[in-house]
Amino acid sequence: MTLRLSLPAQPTLLKRSWSLGANTCHAPLVMRSDLQAHLRRSQQELGFRYWRAHGTLSDDVSVFTRYPDGQTYYTFSGLKRILDAVLASGLKPFLELSFMPVDLSRDPSQTITHYRGPTAPPADFRRWEELISETARFLLATYGADELRTWYFEIWNEPNIPFWTGTQDEYFQLYRHAARALKAVHPALRVGGPATARGEWIADFLDDCARHQAPVDFVSTHVYPSDVAFVDSAEGEVKLLGLDFLHRHFARVHREVQERRPGLPIIWGEWNSSAGPLAENHDTCENAAVISSALAGIERWADGSLFWNLSDIYEECQYHFAPFHGGYGLLTVDDIPKSAFRAFEFFHQMETHSLSIDGQPGSAERGAFGSASADQKRLVVLFWNTVTLGPWTLTPQAPAGYRATRLERILPGQGSAYEAWLELGRPMNLSRAQHAALAAASVPAVDTTWQGGKLSLAPGTVALAIWEKIE
């Protein structure tokens, strides 16, 4: 198959949606030095710009506390420690405002995950609005308006599944109170939602905002191409619904937003190759191909990607410290990059402007994504082929006057350390030599002698090719 690369007459500037950032599970984990190292690495090596996590208002951050004397206090030193660590890493907060402090909750017995995040609506929505107002005033006084206007403020997480035990109308009420409180503190604060699972509630959410004149500066939502509704039964093999499933959801949400609020930014605030927190497909080489296809779709249909999850330092389903255990992370608990990390690294090498590619297959399971430098002196193209299809032989055809200079690949044992770990016998406790071997196996294969021509992609692999203009 021949893929013809061509420079559009007026190349468009890429949104670079893949660089928005990633999640780190539970906000208090950011106080761990090893997770802070992962935050810094994501900023330095992947160009990530934002961080998101659950539980910024939960009792383990101690923002709202009732003391034995019956008095209640707002105490923000815990939240400040978390945010300061994020900012010190070079990232900015995509600040998810959740979960409900126990003393404000309608039913404190309703919780979720290993760290027991409270999921019930507030007993009094006025107290919830006061909490958001006090939080925003503290942030404004601490970080200043110029800094805060660069953040995102998101209301709750996945209110359409058990992260919220209220109704849809009660979530919309929660959103309205919070959004108005934020704007009252400073009108430049960016607020959005509904942060739903499966790309749901988007039309209803925007219609409700319009009906009640509630502010909304962006839409955020989540999707995973699997049939796992939530954490239960999410271990081991996970049935995947295919990348076309993902791309259809990207397009549908884009359409629903455009019909109601044209141009409103869309952020895919959580996604991965499956929703199972202990699923092997997160660790394998093939995940890089899935991630690559998804990122190309997000760039087309949305404005930002927040990958779930940056790190296997993670506690929703209790801690797991095995070197590879199916965790969501781009980095293992031992700081070994997975194939998905390398996929983001490949996208980080992309240039700034669009590049046309003619002759692509019709399925999202295999394809290409290309870019050109502003001066058109460098072309970068990424190719992927998932395991659902056989080997793919293609011939990328660059415009006249360009020569191929470099080819990088994500292969089992070269850009994907999981397969090397299997060959080592699945050691649960790594020696220094084993850790070094896995770190070496996580580095993509590089060929600086590649001169173009036919390129063969085995199932579940990714390649990045570079052409430079002949002077």
Catalytic residues: 158, 270
* CA separation for the pair 393, 94 (Å, rounded): 41
* CA separation for the pair 26, 176 (Å, rounded): 24
Q: Which residues contact 237 (CB under 8 A, 6 or more apart)?
A: 279, 280
**Exposure string (b/e) for 160-183, b if CB count within 10 Å is 16 or more?**
bbbbbbbebebbbbbbbbbbbbbb
Task: For residue 6, list its beta bridge partners.
Answer: 356
Task: For residue 278, list its beta bridge partners.
Answer: 235
Contact 236, 278 (CB under 8 A): yes
